[in-house]
Amino acid sequence: MGELNVDLCGITLDNPVIPASGTFGYGYEFAELYDINCLGTFSFKGTTKDPRFGNPTPRIAECEAGMINAVGLQNPGVEKVISEELPRLAKCFHKPVMANVSGFSVEDYAYTCEKLDAEPQVGWLEVNVSCPNVHGGGMSFGTSPEAAAQVTRAVKKVTTKPVIIKLSPNVTDIVAIAKACEAAGADGISLINTMLGMRIDLNRRKPVIANKMGGFSGPAIFPVAVRMVYQVSHAVKIPVVGMGGVSTARDVIEMMMAGATAVEVGAANLVDPFASQKIVEELPRVMEQYRIENLSDIIGIVE
């Protein structure tokens, strides 16, 4: 059997398959279905400094080849995540976990990251810069190289663990933002977050979700994700974690050939709770089919 392990920012993963934040909770719900230790790791639910109830309902809707969601970062806040969620997670997952962090100011990001950095279960900090900057006119931190770099520098000052900046695809030049994060000290980049989408209920003549617009994810965005992973991975020297519409082992191989060191699986987990497990099990067969001996050898192989 081929070698599935990869190195992500100095930490070895048994395989590159990582359920994406917001699609895997804190892991223990999925642990009731299968042994989640078969995964490389997973990125737990987006965590903010303070508790958040989230957006009004309905906030999730199916659509052709994907889904739209505007959950609104519902979470109990970092203090409760540390005191309640992480101890429960530790009982069923025995590897370093990826902590996903969101914020509405630079200070929010730094505070939450510093708290989670101190937790022994946390291996990486995945910092989602797709949140509105409440002090910068409401624009997302991830739409500006300067703002993304500012968050990166602030987080790196208060942490010791690898910091992976998660980028939004809803920008004109994602490479410029990735390079700014790298220059500011990021240890890795993850992309893409959801695209911005909208659907209308013809009977009600209103948007299908209460927030009107939301994050569009699923197989329909996979080609866009592959393109952006390729562009960014060839422009920076730090590892890239690819995601966006991944639903099969072949998708994982394609994303890695484009330049991803590891690959996150998002919406597929909501369609089939066993999706990530199936991808891990499927990888050796697909590697054999394409004569791949070591997954690490194919990272960025496409010029």
Q: Which residues pair with 11 in a beta bridge?
A: 8
Which candidate in 9, 113, 131, 181 is catalytic?
131
DSSP code per residue over 60-126: EEEETTEEEE-----B--HHHIIIIIHHHHHTT--S-EEEEE--SSHHHHHHHHHHHHT-TTEEEEE
* Spatial distance between the Cα atoms of 189 and 167, rounded to a whole number of angstroms: 7
Half-sphere exposure for 237 (CA within 13 Å, toward CB): 2
pTM above 0.85, yes or no: yes
Active site residue 181: no
Which DSSP state fits 213? -
> Is 8 in a helix, a strand, or coil?
strand
* Spatial distance between the Cα atoms of 187 and 181, rounded to a whole number of angstroms: 9
Token pair of 58 as six digits = 């309905």
> Residue 149 carries which side chain, given as an amino acid letter?
A
> Is 264 in a helix, a strand, or coil?
strand
Neighbours of 269 (CB within 10 A): 22
Helix (H) or strand (E) holding 241, with range, is: strand 240-242
6-52+73-194+217-298, which class in CATH? alpha beta
- pLDDT digits (tens), the chain, 303 positions: 689 999 999 999 999 999 999 999 999 999 999 999 999 999 999 999 999 998 889 999 988 889 999 998 899 999 999 999 999 999 999 999 999 999 999 999 999 999 999 999 999 999 999 876 556 555 688 889 999 999 999 999 999 999 999 999 999 999 999 999 999 999 999 999 999 999 999 999 999 999 999 999 999 999 999 999 999 999 999 999 999 999 999 999 999 999 999 999 999 999 999 999 999 999 999 999 999 999 999 999 999
